Structure 1
Amino acid sequence: MLTELTIRDFAIIDHVSLTLKDGLTVLTGETGAGKSIIIDSIQLLTGARGSVEFVRHGAKRAEIEGLFIVGDDHSVYAKGEEFGVDIEEDGMVVLQRSITHQGKSICRVNGKLVTLGILKEFGKALIDIHSQHETQSLMDPERHIELLDTYAEDELKQPKQEYKKHYETYRSLKKRYKELSDNEQEMAQRLDLLQFQWNELEEAKLEPKEDEELSEERNKLSNFEKIYSGLNDAYEALYGEQKGMDWLSHAMMSLDATADYDETYQRMSEELSNSYYLVEELTFRLSTEMEGLEFDPERLDEIEERLNEINRLKRKYGQSVEEILEYKDKVEEEIDEINNKDSFLSKLETEIEDVTEDLLLEARHIHDIRTEASKQLTEAVHEELKDLYLEKAVFDVKVEKKQGKQDDPLLKNQQVSLSSSGFDEVKFLITTNPGEPMKPLHKIASGGEMSRIMLALKQIFSRHQGITSVIFDEVDTGVSGRVAQAIAEKIFKISVDSQVLCISHLPQVAAMADTHVRIMKNVRDNKTKTKAKELNTNEKVEEVARMISGTELTETTLQNGRELLNLAESFKADT
């Protein structure tokens, strides 16, 4: 969960530090106090696009930092391995984002500089943000298949992996078939290019590891004087009268004279003798090596010229001689394919037919799982909608085969369009009034209905997505009365399995909070500042009473606030 949030010089916030707890945290306050600005800062922390306008007037940079604590099996560990970010066993993840007054954005995860895209990947694994705008995103028909697959994740995991392997092969074969069967003029131009490349590589007559061997030889020739001087100095120090070997011989004979008196001396004598003969052998090798040394400037020029040629080819065909030779083999294969296009096309057709059969088999399996999951999801949504006083609403998850084009595969005499997720398209349909036709979710006009449907879906999917923290930004807009109470209860239920941070104007939601934070705006020295204060029990009563009646507090409104808080505590105790 998100345990610490620090914001500095962001919009009208000069410095706010929030310690967040498990369960439901509700942020309340007057309109314009800065509640949504806090959500904006969290969105930036999780990879949203920034702007220089977020930097507080007169400040050099805006800074946001969040500390998350995750469990041992959280998906963020996989993200850490993928992007080379260390995540310790204590499960602490720190996201940092700063935006300078010049518009430059700096992102860090656990102290490591990362790109905005990588920060966004970590953000998606840690936080799920829902605002009125995000609700529209949830209703996006393009995302419905993802949501259904999330709901049936356990059943779909293995079939989707199998399907993906066949699909990648299918795409690769189709792409190659299209390249071979396309425009004859383009193919002839491609053949000319490949033939030129092959001829260039063939004439080069490269040998494996040739560049490494030549570099080693060049190094010796370039440093001939240093090498010869070093070998000669070593040889002179060892061989000759009153040199190293003479003294070693003298020491060996002296120690040998004591060998008969003690086993320790005998072993020391033997060790010295062995060392003497090893050094003697090394001396002979030094002499031989010096005799074989010869400086050849012409050979050095030849090596330099050859290495320049190899480096030129590396810039065009690969980073090493081995990669260049592999590329040459691929070029040769492609030349052969183009020259024998008809036979290769026939072979590809057979391969495409075989892989299509396997692909459709896996796609049908996935389709069947989705169809069964859609029935279960439909029933689950109906149960949630009843709790939100939409008991007359009819919800349906429609799983259909996506209509294909002329060249797409046939399934039971129907062309189907294959994608990376199968041949299905999924639509969430609903009617909220009896007698009206089913419509796609995104065509529902009522904001209140949209909020309730989103919460119903979120209640279901929060149990499957494994998100650390869920944030709701005024998703309860446009509701009141018993519906407001139902929404408050639903938000609390979501907080049982996930940490929830909620901005709300509803007293029913505020009363349900485990932690209640009031956001206030003050003007001092002609500067606007936002502050956050965690409320105690008496302050909670006053804030809830204020949300019920407005700014004026009376004993009656305070009593109403206490009653609402007591009702909330009673509901939470029974949940």
Structure 2
Amino acid sequence: MLTQLYIKNYALFSEADIAIPEGLTILTGETGAGKSLLVGALGLIMGRRVDGSVLLLSDEKCIVEARFQKLSRSVKRIMGKFEDFDADDGEVIIRREIRPNGKSRAFINDTPVSLQMLKQVSSLLLDLHGQNENQMLLSADKQMDLVDAYAESSHLVDAFGIKMVRLDKISEELDSVRAQEEESSRQLEYFRFMVDELEKAELQAEEEEQLEQELNLLQNSEDVREALGMAVERLYQQDQAIFNQLGELLDPLKRVEGVDKSIAEEVSRLMEVQESVKESAFSFQNMLDTVGSDPERLAFLEERLSLYHGLKLKYNCQSGADLVGLLDSTVGKLDEFQSLEGRIGDLEQQRSKVLEELTIIGQQLEQARIQGKGNLEKLVTNLLSEVGFEKARFEVAIERNEHADGLLEIEGQRVKPISKGINKVYFLIQTNPGMPAGPLSQIASGGEVSRVMLAIKAALAEKSDFPVMIFDEIDTGISGEIANKVGNVMKKLSRRFQILSITHLPQIAAKGANHLQVKKRVVGDSTQSTVETLAHEERVKVLAEMLSGASPTESAMKNAAELMSS
């Protein structure tokens, strides 16, 4: 509920700190005193745009602050989802500041927030019905919410919404995967040709380097054989071969190695050298046995290396190892394409399942709305007669949201699902017998729409959780007994919800549990407005003035007292 409203330097208000109690609070005052300015101040809390012209003193900033406490469980639950500010203690303070240059700032619990966030939060706390405004009731989306509240089908709406989020997620992923598949399919034939060509080549990462070494050896075989043969002879085969010379050198050294440890160490080293010479000679001999002139092998090597060279040029690779890597990556792309096809099939199955579930839940929701609308129509029609529409008839139209491209097929119809089901729901009203029922938006005055809203909310009082309701001149076009009935409906509704009502009618004003009066006075060279909370005696006098004028008679005072006690 709204417990306090603070206003500073706004329009005619220099400074006002207004405590607002529970129940029905009446707001009265003479014409031009500033009653509607209070509604305007609350409009700032709801995020309406404004400029510096609203400032009483043009060189000082304007502040409007509203304090909300005793939040309902549903509002607390929603508030808990906002990360922009902290509302853990169950209290919300909304503040709007307007600077002299016309720029504004918004705060929720002292945390700066955007205007969009302000509107989102304030809509949970305030329901403002101004006289010439486009009220919440005229929104088809809100009309659907009210029907669902009465039909107690909100759980189905939630279930449908969850499935719609799931459908959107699957559809988004499906579109992405299909786009990938489409892009891959354009290169698919090229990739397949590449893999076929590279696989037929039977490439190996180290082969090209090995082939080049072997080719170089064959191309220089005569020089290699001559060098190897000379090395084998001089290392091991000749009488004066290095191996034999080392043996002659080692014989006398071995006889004296026991004399000195250092000699023994050097002898050991020379023996190792002699053995290495022998091993090198044997290795060169083995090489010599394998090196020879082989024209067929030479032709094979040249042809094989030519294949590598051509493929490297064709696919812009630097080495045979790069070609092998290209083959592996392209095979991976082909496998990925196959997996995309499988993923598409899987997503299409998931999507079909969600569409089936949406169809089932959507029909259940539609049936719940149809079952609930009859009683709602009767109840609201009866209440309309109590708020001044004696011959009015209220109807709830429920239609399927048919569309040629609808995702759902229900009973041969293509239906487009929305976040809250498969239906369009809107209110119709017939104000005069014999005339066709028409949309509520065709009702001319804001006061009439406010009374229709009052009737609907009274019908839904036991099944809904409304924010603070503010009615600006709901009494437009009524008087006498009808005004008394409107007051009774508001009084009854205020037992569950907080209501602020601006009125000119004593019959409605008398129903309030509390009474605020806006007064205008001259301070120096300026006119300023103030707000006063009236005691019982003051209320009786104000009601009497509303009945008979500025100087109420004793009879008027008596009538006012009777109105308050009725």
The question of 1:148 aligning with 2:144 is answered: no
Q: How does 1:436-515 map to 2 (within 5 A)?
A: 436-445=435-444, 449-515=448-514
The question of 1:47 aligning with 2:44 is answered: no
Deviations 1:94-115 (A, max 9, x none): 2222111123323222333333
For 1:418 and 1:333, locate their aligned partners in 2 and report how far apart those are by CA, in whole Å. 40
For 2:184 and 2:378, locate their aligned partners in 1 and report how far apart those are by CA, in whole Å. 56
Q: How does 1:368-447 map to 2 (within 5 A)?
A: 368-406=367-405, 408-445=407-444
* Structure 1 residue 375 displacement after superposition: 2.0
For 1:518 and 1:38, locate their aligned partners in 2 and report how far apart those are by CA, in whole Å. 11
Contact kept? 1:395, 1:430, Cα under 8 Å: yes
Bigger shift: residues 377-386 or 12-21: 377-386
Report the counterpart of residue 13 of structure 2 in structure 1.
13
The question of 1:98 aligning with 2:97 is answered: yes
| 3-state SS, counterpart of residue 101 of structure 2 | coil
* Structure 1 residue 63 displacement after superposition: 0.8
Q: How many residues align?
A: 424
Report the counterpart of residue 217 of structure 2 in structure 1.
none
The question of 1:168 aligning with 2:136 is answered: no
* Structure 1 residue 183 displacement after superposition: 12
| 3-state SS, counterpart of residue 117 of structure 1 | helix
Deviations 1:12-48 (A, max 9, x none): 2111111221222111112211111111112212333
User: Structure 2 counterpart of 1:160, which letter?
Assistant: V
User: Structure 2 counterpart of 1:431, which letter?
Assistant: Q
* Structure 1 residue 537 displacement after superposition: 3.0
User: Structure 2 counterpart of 1:166, which letter?
Assistant: K
| 3-state SS, counterpart of residue 103 of structure 1 | coil
Report the counterpart of residue 563 of structure 2 in structure 1.
567
User: Structure 2 counterpart of 1:6, which letter?
Assistant: Y
The question of 1:23 aligning with 2:23 is answered: yes
| 3-state SS, counterpart of residue 44 of structure 1 | helix
Alpha-carbon distance change, 61 to 338 in structure 1, aligned in 2, over 3 angstroms:
farther
* Structure 1 residue 450 displacement after superposition: 3.4
For 1:130 and 1:464, locate their aligned partners in 2 and report how far apart those are by CA, in whole Å. 21
Q: How does 1:273-284 map to 2 (within 5 A)?
A: none
Contact kept? 1:395, 1:429, Cα under 8 Å: yes
Report the counterpart of residue 257 of structure 1 in structure 2.
none
For 1:445 and 1:45, locate their aligned partners in 2 and report how far apart those are by CA, in whole Å. 27
* Structure 1 residue 78 displacement after superposition: 4.1
Contact kept? 2:87, 2:109, Cα under 8 Å: yes
Contact kept? 1:135, 1:454, Cα under 8 Å: no
* Structure 1 residue 430 displacement after superposition: 1.8
Report the counterpart of residue 60 of structure 2 in structure 1.
60
For 1:182 and 1:92, locate their aligned partners in 2 and report how far apart those are by CA, in whole Å. 49
Report the counterpart of residue 111 of structure 2 in structure 1.
112
**Structure of greater Rg:** 2
Deviations 1:119-163 (A, max 9, x none): 33332222221112346441233432122123334x331x23332
Alpha-carbon distance change, 366 to 448 in structure 1, aligned in 2, over 3 angstroms:
same
Alpha-carbon distance change, 407 to 82 in structure 1, aligned in 2, over 3 angstroms:
closer
Contact kept? 2:106, 2:115, Cα under 8 Å: yes
| 3-state SS, counterpart of residue 520 of structure 1 | strand
Contact kept? 2:80, 2:88, Cα under 8 Å: no
| 3-state SS, counterpart of residue 133 of structure 1 | coil
Contact kept? 1:378, 1:397, Cα under 8 Å: yes
Deviations 1:206-250 (A, max 9, x none): xxxxxxxxxxxxxxxxxxxxxxxxxxxxxxxxxxxxxxxxxxxxx
For 2:112 and 2:468, locate their aligned partners in 1 and report how far apart those are by CA, in whole Å. 23
* Structure 1 residue 71 displacement after superposition: 4.9
Q: How does 1:142-541 map to 2 (within 5 A)?
A: 142-153=141-152, 155-157=153-155, 159-178=156-175, 347-406=346-405, 408-445=407-444, 449-541=448-540
* Structure 1 residue 486 displacement after superposition: 1.5
For 2:145 and 2:333, locate their aligned partners in 1 and report how far apart those are by CA, in whole Å. 39
* Structure 1 residue 482 displacement after superposition: 1.9
For 1:333 and 1:547, locate their aligned partners in 2 and report how far apart those are by CA, in whole Å. 87
Alpha-carbon distance change, 186 to 138 in structure 1, aligned in 2, over 3 angstroms:
farther
| 3-state SS, counterpart of residue 539 of structure 2 | helix
% same residue: 31
Question: TM-score, normalised on structure 2?
Answer: 0.67
User: Structure 2 counterpart of 1:156, which letter?
Assistant: S
Contact kept? 1:485, 1:508, Cα under 8 Å: yes
Alpha-carbon distance change, 434 to 80 in structure 1, aligned in 2, over 3 angstroms:
same
Contact kept? 2:133, 2:446, Cα under 8 Å: no
* Structure 1 residue 358 displacement after superposition: 1.6
Contact kept? 1:135, 1:451, Cα under 8 Å: no
CA RMSD of aligned residues (A): 3.2
Report the counterpart of residue 137 of structure 2 in structure 1.
138
Report the counterpart of residue 70 of structure 1 in structure 2.
70
* Structure 1 residue 519 displacement after superposition: 0.8
* Structure 1 residue 168 displacement after superposition: 2.3
* Structure 1 residue 413 displacement after superposition: 0.8
Contact kept? 2:24, 2:491, Cα under 8 Å: yes
| 3-state SS, counterpart of residue 82 of structure 2 | helix
Deviations 1:168-212 (A, max 9, x none): 232234345556668999888999xxxxxxxxxxxxxxxxxxxxx
Report the counterpart of residue 38 of structure 1 in structure 2.
38
Contact kept? 2:507, 2:563, Cα under 8 Å: no
For 1:347 and 1:46, locate their aligned partners in 2 and report how far apart those are by CA, in whole Å. 46
For 1:516 and 1:5, locate their aligned partners in 2 and report how far apart those are by CA, in whole Å. 15
For 1:160 and 1:336, locate their aligned partners in 2 and report how far apart those are by CA, in whole Å. 42
| 3-state SS, counterpart of residue 494 of structure 2 | helix
Alpha-carbon distance change, 393 to 51 in structure 1, aligned in 2, over 3 angstroms:
same
Alpha-carbon distance change, 467 to 412 in structure 1, aligned in 2, over 3 angstroms:
closer
For 2:473 and 2:138, locate their aligned partners in 1 and report how far apart those are by CA, in whole Å. 17
| 3-state SS, counterpart of residue 60 of structure 1 | coil
Deviations 1:363-396 (A, max 9, x none): 1111111111212321221231232353432211
For 1:357 and 1:333, locate their aligned partners in 2 and report how far apart those are by CA, in whole Å. 36
| 3-state SS, counterpart of residue 113 of structure 1 | strand
Alpha-carbon distance change, 407 to 380 in structure 1, aligned in 2, over 3 angstroms:
closer
* Structure 1 residue 560 displacement after superposition: 2.8
* Structure 1 residue 445 displacement after superposition: 4.0
Contact kept? 1:150, 1:465, Cα under 8 Å: yes
Contact kept? 2:383, 2:455, Cα under 8 Å: yes
For 1:560 and 1:188, locate their aligned partners in 2 and report how far apart those are by CA, in whole Å. 89
Contact kept? 2:541, 2:552, Cα under 8 Å: no
Contact kept? 1:451, 1:477, Cα under 8 Å: no
Contact kept? 2:148, 2:369, Cα under 8 Å: yes
| 3-state SS, counterpart of residue 82 of structure 1 | coil
Alpha-carbon distance change, 178 to 118 in structure 1, aligned in 2, over 3 angstroms:
closer
For 2:65 and 2:126, locate their aligned partners in 1 and report how far apart those are by CA, in whole Å. 14
* Structure 1 residue 334 displacement after superposition: 11
For 2:140 and 2:118, locate their aligned partners in 1 and report how far apart those are by CA, in whole Å. 26
| 3-state SS, counterpart of residue 16 of structure 1 | strand
| 3-state SS, counterpart of residue 502 of structure 1 | strand
Deviations 1:399-427 (A, max 9, x none): 11111214532111111111111111112
* Structure 1 residue 11 displacement after superposition: 1.3
User: Structure 1 counterpart of 2:50, which letter?
Assistant: G
For 2:54 and 2:150, locate their aligned partners in 1 and report how far apart those are by CA, in whole Å. 37
For 1:474 and 1:409, locate their aligned partners in 2 and report how far apart those are by CA, in whole Å. 45
Contact kept? 1:76, 1:126, Cα under 8 Å: no
